[in-house]
Structure formats: C-alpha cells, structure tokens
Amino acid sequence: MTRTGSHPLSTLADRIQPRDRTLLDKSFRWFCIATASTSIMILVVLLVAVFYLGLNSLNWNFMTHYPEPDASAAGLGPALWGTIWVCIVCGMFALPIGVATAIFLEEFQPSNKWLLKFHGFVQLNINNLAGVPSVVYGILGLTLFVSMAGLFGTPNEPLLSVGVRYYDQFFTAGQKSLRVPVADPAQPNTVAEPGLRALNSDNEWVVANVVDSRRDLPRSMEERRYAIIQGKSSGRIEEGSWYYFRLPFGRSVLAGSLTLMLVILPIVIISTQEALRGVPQSLREAGLGLGSTKWQVVRNITLPAAIPGIMTGSILAMSRAIGEAAPILILAGAIFLTNNPGSLMDDFTVLPLQIFDWAGRPHREFHHLAGGGILVLLAILFVFNLTAVLIRQFTQKNLT
C-alpha cells in the first residue's frame, strides 16, 4: 500500500537511517559549538586588544579634561557628558512613546474595516523603519529638529528663547576671553573700538586695551591679557540657564536626543510587541471575565507580565543609541568642545565622534586615547544594561 500526499521532506527523512541521523545531529551540534566558540574568541581578542591599547590612558584628567592638541593632556570630558545627556534624554522620550505605541497596536486593535487597514499600514511602516540606515535619520533630524524647516525662525534668530543670555566674545592677544553682553541677538556683532567694556572670565567688568594694529601689541604677556586689535569682529555666543529653551532647537542636546529616538523607536516598538504577545491570552480573558475594562487588564496584568521582555528590547535599543555616530555627525558637527553640556539647548559631542577623531590621527598617542575612549564607552553601556537587567529580574514573574 502506497502513501499518497506525503511531504517531500518526510519522504527524505524516511530514507535516512537512524545511524546517519545521529551523525547529522552530532555534526550540526559541533558546528554550532564551533561557530559560537569562534565568535567568542574574536570578541575576547578585540577586548584584550582594546584593554592593552587604552588601559594606561584611564585617569582622572582623561575623564574630566577637554580635548587638546597635546595627547598627554587631552581628555574626553565634554564627549562623556554629552553621551550621558543624549542617552538619558533619548531613553526618556523613546521608551514611553515606544511602549505606548506597541500597546495600542497590539492590545487595542480596531474592529472597523478602515481603521483596521490604517492599523496594518502603521505596522508595516514601523517594520520598514527598523531597517532604515541611521544616516537617513540624521538628515531627517537636521531638518525636523535643528531648523524645523524654517517654520520657527533659524537657530541664530530663534522665534522663542527662554533662559538665555547672549554675548559677543573677543579673544585677546593673551588668549583670554572677553564678553560683551548683547540685548538683542538680531543686532550686528560688536566691533572692537577704544573704550570697549567687557566681562572677563571671572565676570568682572574690564576696559579692553584696543590697539591700532598687530605691531602695536604689547610685548609683555601680562599687558596682552586685554589687548585687542581695533576693528576686530566678535563671535556671538550664548549662555543658557538649566531651563534654557528655544525654537527651533538648533544643534543641541535635545535635537540629538530626539534624532536618536527616531533611530531606536522601531526597535522598542517591535520588541515590546513581541513581549506582549508572549503573555498568555488566558490571563487577559480571566481579567475581562472578572469585569475589568481592557485598559485595566493592560495596566494591571498584561504590561507587568511583559516588563522583562520590554527591558530586554530596551537594552538592545539603548546599546544601539550609545554607539551611533553617523546621525550625530550630521546633526551636531562638533568634535572639539571645551565645555560640558549644561542644558538641553547646549552644543554637544559624543564619545563615538571623539573616538573616531582620535583613531584617525597619525600619532600613536592618540590611538591609545581612542582605546581609552572605547573602554569608557563600554563602561557606560555596561551600566545602562545592568540597570535594565536588574529591573527585568525584579519585575519577572512566573506566569504558569
């Protein structure tokens, strides 16, 4: 009697002898072990190389000082604090929005025909956005957040600014900074003229020594502290309070954080949906059977049960955000900064950009600095991941 409608794979399996099956099983198992071992060995070699290259660079000056042309005195303080600022603000925006979107798509599916088609359209676009290169998000952030398409003025002439003071800055012949307060940011930059009054680095009023030409500069460095050549133009700077805010955002911490939010948002949404699907349907039905509303079931049953899976997705998303360089390079465009960010509207740089700059220099001393920067970046990543793992462990519940 012949079998009809048998599957080709089952027919092939019937032809394989038990001995051959055992051999195939062992071969595949050893192949998986060899592949995993090779990957781990490559990772270990990379980590050992990075530790060997950058461990000697780690010191307090390296962690707090700003970059300098002299490798022995250079540090990554502004890039370190820029990374911390950007990642925290990015997580504060991306995680609530991503989780809320996933709950809406997964738990509140509409019954209306047209709303159901719109629901599927949104889901399709989220899946597609997960594969978009990050450099595209950088261009989008440049238009959407930095300049806001010119709808609210320009970053140099914002439509709205709160908690900021503007100065025209001069650098004297003695490499000192003098600042002239500006009442209206739209007025032209100040030009050095005799009798120029300005604030020094200690916020004390001084009268600048304005000379006619470079040949008239004093020879003494002490006398050059406040010496400026007549007619020299200043540069406009801004000093913001902790609550500083403006429209448009400009090349600020907030703009960079929102751009990285766009990068990781699809990852957060998709991973949260998978975590929600892992919650047994019987728990939802039991809650509804007791008379709870759909939102009460989500808030008290589904979401708490899915938190471990959501935190796993958050780990992956934040890991990508910390290591992104392309969108920040397009959006911020700054590598050399001497000040740490103090508000959401301040200029910033991040560790991947600083590491890229040091690694591309010809001197080996800067390569050691790049190795130290990689170790600091891995340490920050470890702290973020450890926090998410602890939250996952403390919230994990047995659903059986």
Helix 364-395 and helix 303-323, axial crossing angle in degrees, nearest 10: 180
Give tens-digit pLDDT for 349-387: 899 999 988 988 888 888 999 999 999 999 988 888 888
Residues 265, 376 share a domain? yes
263: pLDDT strictly greater than 90: yes
Residues 227, 78 share a domain? no
Q: How many structural domains does the chain have?
A: 3
Q: How far apart are CA 267 and CA 116, in angstroms?
A: 22
Residues 98, 176 share a domain? no
Question: What CATH number corresponds to the domain at position 346?
Answer: 1.10.3720.10
Residues 296, 238 share a domain? no
Give tens-digit pLDDT for 114-161: 888 888 888 888 988 888 888 999 999 999 999 888 888 887 778 888
**Given this model, what pLDDT does residue 254 score?**
93
Mean pLDDT of 155-173: 85
**Given this model, what pLDDT does residue 2 score?**
47
Average pLDDT value over all residues in the chain: 85
Report the DSSP beta bridge partners of residue 6: none
Q: Are 216 and 224 in contact (CB under 8 A)?
A: no
Q: Are 153 and 182 in contact (CB under 8 A)?
A: no
Note every long-range contact of 353-360, with CB atoms under 8 Å and residues 24 or more positions apart, other chains counting: 353/79, 353/325, 353/328, 353/329, 354/67, 354/76, 354/79, 356/325, 357/67
Query: Residue 86's closest CA among 323, 336, 359?
Result: 323
Residues 71, 38 share a domain? no
Residues 296, 372 share a domain? yes
How far out from the chain centre does Cα 285 lie? 40
Q: Are 132 and 126 in contact (CB under 8 A)?
A: no
Look at strands 227-229 and 209-211 and give their pairing: parallel
* Cis amide linkage into residue 248, ω under 30° from 0: yes
Residues 277, 192 share a domain? no
Residues 283, 391 share a domain? yes
In terms of residue numbers, what domain contains 97? Answer: 61-148+252-395
Give tens-digit pLDDT for 27-83: 889 999 999 999 999 999 998 999 988 888 888 888 988 888 888 888 888 999 999
Residues 274, 140 share a domain? yes
Note every long-range contact of 205-212, with CB atoms under 8 Å and residues 24 or more positions apart, other chains counting: 206/178, 208/170, 208/172, 208/178
Residues 293, 364 share a domain? yes
Q: How many residues does the chain have?
A: 400
Look at strands 209-211 and 177-182 and give their pairing: unpaired
| Structure letter (DSSP) for residue 1 | -
How far out from the chain centre does Cα 361 lie? 24
Query: Residue 62's closest CA among 70, 201, 172?
Result: 70
Helices (H) and strands (E) in the chain, counts: 13, 7
The answer to whether residue 2 sits within a structural domain is no
137 CB burial (10 A radius; 0-12, 13-18, 19+): buried
Residues 385, 288 share a domain? yes
| Structure letter (DSSP) for residue 142 | I
Q: How far apart are CA 384 and CA 391, in angstroms?
A: 11
Give tens-digit pLDDT for 207-221: 888 888 877 777 777
The answer to whether residue 158 sits within a structural domain is no
Q: Are 306 and 396 in contact (CB under 8 A)?
A: no
